[in-house]
Every structure is written in C-alpha cells, then in structure tokens.
Amino acid sequence: MAHKESILKGLGRRDFLGKMGMGLGSVALWSLLNPVDVLAGTGISGNGGTIKIPHYVPKAKRVIYLFQSGGPAQQDLFDYKPLLRELNGQELPGSVRQGQRLTGMSAFQNSLPLAGSHFNFKQYGKNGMWVSDLLPHTAKIVDELCFIKSMYTEAINHDPAITFFQTGSQQPGRPSIGSWLSYGLGSDNENLPAFSVLLSRSHPFGQPLYSRLWGNGFLPSQHQGVQFRSGKDPVLYLSNPHGITGKSRRNALNTLEELHTINEDVLGSQELNSKISQYEMAYRMQTSVPEAMSISKEPDYILDMYGPEAKIPGTYAYNCVLARRLVERDVKFVQLYHQGWDQHGNLPSDIQKQCKSTDQPSAALVMDLKQRGLLEDTLVIWGGEFGRTSYSQGRLTKDNYGRDHHPRCFTMWMAGAGVKPGYIHGQTDDFGYNITENPVHVHDFQATLMYLLGIDHERLTYKFQGRRFRLTDVHGHIVKDILA
C-alpha cells in the first residue's frame, strides 16, 4: 500500500493529464506497436500519424534529403558568375557587401579579394542551366531538376545553420523535419523507422554532426531519426547478443509487455510507451533492416550507375543506393548527410574530391528513382546549410583560394514529386553576393516541403511547455512558383 501511494504521489500533473489523454490502457500500447493496423475498421485508415487525412492533396509521399554538410560553394557549382573572374583579386565593393556581418574567420582580413571560380561552366538542358565542369553527371540531368538559386538563411555558422534547416530554429531542442513528418504522417512500413539517417564523408575531417540534428526534440521519442551505420551492424545493438535466440528475445519482450500492461494503469507515461514501441520496432527491424541494408542483390548495372564507390559501405554512393532501397520500402523520410563541404582554404583541390564522390551518385539516384517510377511520388532534395563567399578567405593566389560562410545566397536543387522539372527559381547579383529575385528563406523551404507532402505547415503543431510549436515557427511561405 505504501508502495502504491508513493507511486501515486510520484504521478505529476503532466503525467496525470498525459495519462488521461492516453487512457486507453493496453490498447494504447498496441496502437503504438502496430500503428498501421489500429485504424483498420474505421473506414478510412491513415498510418498512425496525427494527420489522419492530408490537408492538401499530397504530391510527394517520401523524401530523400541529400544534405551537403559544410556549405557547398555555389559560385563553383551552379551559380555562374563570370564577373568574379573578370574582377579576380579586386576588393569586394562595400556597396555589394552592405555591411554584411562576416564570421570571425575572415572579418579581420585586411582585404576581401573577389575570387573567380577556377572551374569552367557550360549550359545544359532545355533551360540552359549553367553547371560547372565539377558536376558532369548532375549537368546531364538538369532537365529533371528544379534549382533554387536564391536560398538564404539567418545563421552564419555550421551548427546553428544546420539546426535551423533541420528544426526551424537556430537553438537546439526542437524536432527535426523527419521527426515532424513521422509524427504527422506516421509510417507506411511498420518494420522500418519512418525517419532514417545515413552519414558519409569523403574527407577524414569535416564539421561534426550531432545526433540531435535528427532528434525528436519534444515529440515522443519513437519519432527520432534512426541512424544506419556502415559497419557490420547497421543499427547498433540490434542483433541478439551471443547465446540469445530470436525466440527467447520474443519471450522477453512479451513478458516485458505484460509487465508494462500491468503498470500501464498506474504509471502509464508517454515516454514509457515510446520505449516499449521502440523495443518492438527493434525486434521487427532485426529481420527488416538486414534485408533493406544489403545491396548484394543489386545488379551490377544499377551499382555502376552510382559509380565506383557504390559497393564500398560508408560512402555517399553506397548510401544513395541504400536511400533508394529504403524509399522502395516506403520509408517516409531518408536523410543523408555528406560532410566535407566546408572549404575555407584549398577550395580548388578539395571541392574536386568532394564532387567526385557525390556528383555521380546524386544524379544516379534521381535517374534510378525515375526509371522505377518512384520519382513520381518521391522528392529528392540536394543542398547545404548556407553558401560561400565570393571573396577569398585567406590569401588569393594564382591556383588557390578559399571561401568563408555566406548566408545571403546559395543554391539548392529538388527533383521529383510536385516540383517543376528543368526549372530555375531566383537570381543573384553579378557578384554572387545578394539575391536579386525571388528570395527563398529556410522557413519557406520547409513550408514548401510540408505542402508537397500534403501538410499545412501552420496546422502541424505540438504543444510543449505551454506553447504550440511548429516546424516553421511563425514564418514560412509556400514557394508556389516551383510547384509543378
């Protein structure tokens, strides 16, 4: 009795209210374990998300977000600026900079010499999109891509900038895009996490990535991104320890579930339910993950599309193949992170390596999805957290330059579901420094992404600490011009 009282005393106001809301006892557990099935019998099914019926007709059902971590230099890849070459070595005019704040890395430089790209550009596709020689494969498929050359952000350093892209806020603590989608739309495959994460880098050093970037923030923790690793175990501690069979694992889980059911009425907290659902998900993933993560059945001609690195685990190319395999299995949000775009110095040589390992796989992924018909309802996004400066960081020499962080403009591309193929949105000035046409803010990008998935970004909210939060905070306009 004393024990029970202490438990009851321990039941806080929030827990109590939470329990009242979730007070379905074991049904709640079952619904979390098997979100796809519980809605059967209600006529219209829905997939366990809070949005039972999409707000808009969805154009995309799945997303692959190829995150280019570090901030690729738009002047060397997509945003062709011949003027920079003409004025190579001359000072960046103050009228262009307009008092823009610089990072501590170049703010104290005596001179800000303009640096023209060392790489040649050519026009490709029906729209005559300029693409640098660094990206021969991407250049070939520009008619499939929708370029936004006028992205801008508020942050000037990596972590706040990535956090801003992922969560809509520069301060850590809010849910990542994939978590919001998992929370809102649920899962189309109960055996794989709705939000899957794959990491790669072509260079031993890169800006660090923290797992909170794919974290669930204040959303229930089953919505956090699950990172698949490149080693023997794609998910750590997923396989049974030595001496434990699948059957005994199942028995253990069953017993745990029974215990949980008994305590549910007394303790039942959302976090405990999340925990149980994650145990169950892990159990199902013991069979589904090895199958999804094995590329042994991929024919050679497919792997050849993705390039020579496609068979090497841990590479960007390998992850692109995995991404396709995951969306084929109806995983809602697959996010790749490729580190190493932070080229403050030695840009000409480093960017070549970087492009070599990402250009072909990115293009191959789009075309592979396309031939299978998956591009019909899968959205592919390519982009970093900010752009890079048109002036050189450090000394500008005949064969070397670097570029500092530049939040005022950068280029992203999207392909597939719901966006115009072969389209260029936005323009920057001749210095590649400011946007002159159709600026797209990070929140606009997020609002558009949500719209493509059938979500009104103003309506997908979660109440936490007395306030309703949403991905786009109180901002965000849908970029209608890029919608197909």
Residues that bind another protein (CB under 8 A): 36, 40-47, 53-58, 370-373, 376, 454, 480, 483
If you compute the radius of gyration of the chain from its CA atoms, what whole number of angstroms results? 24
Shortest distance, CB of residue 453 to another protein, whole angstroms? 11
Contacts of 104 (CB under 8 A, 6+ apart): none
Of 250 and 372, the one with the shorter C-beta distance to another protein is 372
Looking at this protein, which amino acid is placed at residue 89?
Answer: G
Shortest distance, CB of residue 4 to another protein, whole angstroms? 42
Shortest distance, CB of residue 472 to another protein, whole angstroms? 18
Shortest distance, CB of residue 40 to another protein, whole angstroms? 5
Q: Cβ(471)–Cβ(178) under 8 Å?
A: no
Of 383 and 418, the one with the shorter C-beta distance to another protein is 418
Of 20 and 53, the one with the shorter C-beta distance to another protein is 53
Of 330 and 429, the one with the shorter C-beta distance to another protein is 330
Long-range contacts of residues 232-236, Cβ cutoff 8 Å, at least 24 apart: 234/289, 234/290, 234/293, 235/282, 235/285, 235/289
Shortest distance, CB of residue 292 to another protein, whole angstroms? 16
Contacts of 124 (CB under 8 A, 6+ apart): 130, 131, 139, 140, 142
Q: Cβ(31)–Cβ(38) under 8 Å?
A: yes
Q: What DSSP letter does each residue of 267-287 carry, written as one string?
A: H--HHHHHHHHHHHHHHHHHH
Helix (H, G, I), strand (E, B) or coil at 423: strand
Q: How far is CA 159 from the centre of its chain?
A: 14
Q: Cβ(220)–Cβ(277) under 8 Å?
A: no
Of 133 and 376, the one with the shorter C-beta distance to another protein is 376
Shortest distance, CB of residue 36 to another protein, whole angstroms? 8
Of 282 and 417, the one with the shorter C-beta distance to another protein is 417
In the 8-state DSSP scheme, what is residue 306? H
Of 57 and 474, the one with the shorter C-beta distance to another protein is 57
Q: Measured at the alpha carbon of residue 463, what is the angle toward residues 457 and 465, in degrees to the nearest 5?
A: 135
Shortest distance, CB of residue 56 to another protein, whole angstroms? 6
Looking at this protein, which amino acid is placed at residue 169?
Answer: S
**Joined tokens for residue 460:** 């997908």
Shortest distance, CB of residue 373 to another protein, whole angstroms? 4
Shortest distance, CB of residue 114 to another protein, whole angstroms? 33
Terminal Cα distance for the chain, rounded: 65
Of 52 and 203, the one with the shorter C-beta distance to another protein is 52
Shortest distance, CB of residue 302 to another protein, whole angstroms? 11
Q: Cβ(439)–Cβ(433) under 8 Å?
A: no
Helix (H, G, I), strand (E, B) or coil at 75: helix
Q: Cβ(356)–Cβ(133) under 8 Å?
A: no
**Joined tokens for residue 77:** 């890849």
| C-alpha closest to that of 366 among 58, 135, 25 | 135
